[in-house]
């Protein structure tokens, strides 16, 4: 009986051991199944080249790409650009700038990791353009290749007098959106000042002209305007910008960018020419100090031959450090750009001819009309 009991106990222990082994095996299989389902799947990667469009498929010259990734079961991601080190990112997004000039092909590898360290990865090849030029990408232009009215998608006629029925600076004209005062023909925009009586909202003036504002606001860039200037005394042509937060009566942007008024909005006179000196052009800056709100201004001038009979390029280069104005390749004036000046936000471009006023001066009695002719307007960033 004792031996039978012993055999029975041994058998019972063997069955118990087999059961435990079976349980361990089952748990092991279950753990293995869990690991297999923890591997990330469906890795989706989006690579965006900054400034890429139909005209610049490889980017705007900044050399910068933005990469974002997502995957099922992924808790972190990593990226490698060209042959560099792996860079981790829990959010699955990263920005990278390539530094080699020109258009080059780069490999980008993306990893998605699970909580347990399992991963999947994919590699991509992209062509990216990097320029050593400060302003390489054309962001706004009008070559004036159409005929008739200026392009309504690009230009806004400012016609409402902001100064109690008149314009500032004692100007003598009304601005209109009539084809008599602004039109495109033979590859150039003509802004024409005319001696004629014209009334607007009960205010009558003896001259008309046009003032065109771009419907494009920008911060920093190079502006080029190739133009011939009017030749008659009393005419005051200008190529200039205002801060888009000026909210001046009749401007295109309204209070979209704010409403600080002038001079806190900032003004950049790329080119002005007085009515009494047609051999020189002026570049001037007006602003309100952002700390004290005190009015400030400064500028310079340069001699320019044949301003009415020959085209010249009037340009500005504007960045966070300075604003430089040019006629052709001649530097006219450079203004340091500091945090107390309103030149670190959106501005828009203005083209106009004023008659008389502060810089127009006396208008001859025999004046009939004169034209400001613009071959093209280009803005680069």
The pLDDT of residue 227 is 98
**What's the confidence (pLDDT) of residue 33?**
42
Please report the pLDDT score of residue 55 as a whole number. 67
Q: What pLDDT is recorded for position 131?
A: 78
Per-residue tens of pLDDT for the chain, all 381 residues: 444 444 344 434 443 343 434 433 333 333 334 455 689 999 999 999 988 887 678 987 888 999 999 999 999 999 999 988 999 998 999 999 998 888 999 999 999 999 999 999 999 999 998 877 778 889 999 999 999 999 999 999 999 999 999 999 999 999 999 999 999 999 999 999 999 999 999 999 999 999 999 999 999 999 999 999 999 999 999 999 999 999 999 999 999 999 999 999 999 999 999 999 999 999 999 999 999 999 999 999 999 999 999 999 999 999 999 999 999 989 999 999 999 999 999 999 999 999 999 999 999 999 999 999 999 999 999
Catalytic residue ranges:
267, 272
Residues 6+ apart with CB under 8 A from 258: 244, 245, 247
Q: Structure pTM? A: 0.69
Task: Write down the pLDDT at residue 60.
Answer: 78
Q: How high is the pLDDT of residue 80?
A: 96
- pLDDT score of 36: 54
């Amino acid at each position: 009986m004792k031996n039978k009991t012993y055999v029975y106990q041994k058998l019972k222990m063997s069955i118990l051991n087999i059961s435990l082994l079976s349980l361990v095996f089952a748990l092991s299989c279950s753990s293995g199944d869990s690991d297999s389902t923890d591997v990330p799947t469906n890795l989706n990667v989006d690579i965006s080249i900054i400034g890429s469009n139909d005209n610049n498929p490889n980017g705007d010259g900044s050399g910068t790409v933005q990469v974002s990734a997502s995957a099922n079961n992924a808790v972190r991601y990593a990226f490698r650009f060209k042959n560099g080190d792996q860079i981790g990112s829990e959010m699955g997004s990263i920005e990278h700038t390539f530094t080699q000039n020109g258009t080059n092909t780069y490999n980008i590898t993306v990893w998605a990791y699970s909580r347990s360290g399992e991963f999947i990865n994919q590699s991509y090849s992209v062509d990216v353009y990097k320029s050593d030029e400060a302003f390489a990408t054309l962001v706004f232009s009008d070559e004036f290749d159409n005929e008739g009215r200026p392009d309504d998608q690009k230009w806004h006629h400012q016609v409402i007098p902001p100064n109690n029925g008149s314009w500032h600076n004692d100007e003598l004209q009304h601005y209109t959106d009539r084809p008599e005062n602004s039109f495109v023909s033979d590859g150039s925009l003509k802004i024409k000042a005319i001696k004629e009586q014209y009334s607007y909202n009960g205010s009558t003036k003896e001259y008309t002209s046009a003032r065109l504002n771009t419907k494009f606001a920008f911060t920093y860039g190079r502006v080029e305007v190739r133009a011939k200037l009017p030749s008659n005394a009393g005419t005051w042509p200008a190529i200039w910008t205002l801060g888009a937060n000026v909210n001046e009566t009749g401007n295109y942007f309204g209070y979209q960018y704010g409403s600080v008024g002038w001079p806190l909005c900032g003004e950049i006179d790329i080119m002005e020419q007085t009515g009494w000196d047609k051999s020189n052009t002026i570049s001037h800056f007006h602003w309100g100090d952002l700390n004290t709100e005190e009015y400030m201004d400064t500028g310079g001038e340069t001699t320019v031959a044949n301003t009415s009979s020959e085209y010249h390029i009037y340009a500005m280069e504007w960045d966070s450090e300075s604003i430089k104005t040019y006629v052709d390749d001649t530097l006219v004036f450079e203004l340091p750009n500091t945090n107390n000046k309103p030149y670190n936000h959106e501005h828009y471009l203005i083209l106009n001819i004023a008659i008389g006023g502060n810089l127009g001066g006396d208008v001859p009695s025999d004046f009939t009309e004169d034209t400001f002719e613009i071959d093209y307007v280009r803005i680069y960033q």
